[in-house]
Structure 1
Amino acid sequence: MASMQTEIENRLTEAFAPTRLEVINDSAKHHGHAGDDGSGESHFTVAMESAAFEGVSRLQRQRRVIAALGDIVGERVHAVAIKASAPGE
């Protein structure tokens, strides 16, 4: 079974064909806090650049990323911080 980080990377690559994608597992920083399920895969940061975000508001970018992640956010992962940009931003 693939790690949650790999699953996130695969879903975002398929949905957005990013020119830059970094998925960071921040779970260790949240150990013992709300949402920490002890799995070591509860909190992530996504930094992504894609042409799909050109002319799209910050809110819509976040909504599109969350939609692409499907059941991951809120069901399998407690939190995902999203930094989505278009090329040249």
Structure 2
Amino acid sequence: MDTTATGPVATEMLARLNSALSPTFIQLTDYSEKHRGHGGYNAAGESHFSLEIESAAFAGKSRVDRQRLVYKALGDLMRERVHALQIRARAPGEA
């Protein structure tokens, strides 16, 4: 089941992304349950996410540079709490 992320880790992720990147669109989905029994699964949940984000901060940046901006915004959450994050980052006006 795909769910819109609303737990404490997701809430913190969204706060950090909003603060750092001022997105015009953001959607964070928690896919943790799909990974039950796989590597990196955390029984507490909130370990695997998909992020769709649109921000002017991504304009003129490569896909790798956009991912780096997301990882920088999330900081220690990526090292300590989030096992996997699928990122779709775009600038306003991009499809």
Please classify the TM superposition score into its range, dividing by the shorter chain length. Answer: over 0.9
Residue 3 of structure 2 is matched in structure 1 by none
Query: For residue 9 of structure 2, what is the amino acid of its counterpart?
Result: M
Residue 27 of structure 2 is matched in structure 1 by 22
Q: CA RMSD in A?
A: 1.0
Unmatched tracts of structure 2, length 5 or more: 1-6
Q: Percent identity?
A: 51
Residue 39 of structure 2 is matched in structure 1 by 34
State the SS of the aligned residue for 1:22: strand
1:74 positional shift: 2.9
CA distance, structure 1, for counterparts of residue 48 and residue 77 of structure 2: 11
* Count of equivalent residues: 88
Query: For residue 69 of structure 1, what is the amino acid of its counterpart?
Result: L
CA distance, structure 2, for counterparts of residue 51 and residue 17 of structure 1: 8
1:39 positional shift: 1.1
CA distance, structure 1, for counterparts of residue 42 and residue 27 of structure 2: 23
1:63 positional shift: 0.7
Q: Which stretches of structure 1, 4 residues or more, deviate above 2 A after TM superposition?
A: none
Cα deviations by residue, 1:20-53 (Å, 9 ceiling, x for unpaired) = 0001111011111000021111101110000110
Unmatched tracts of structure 1, length 5 or more: none
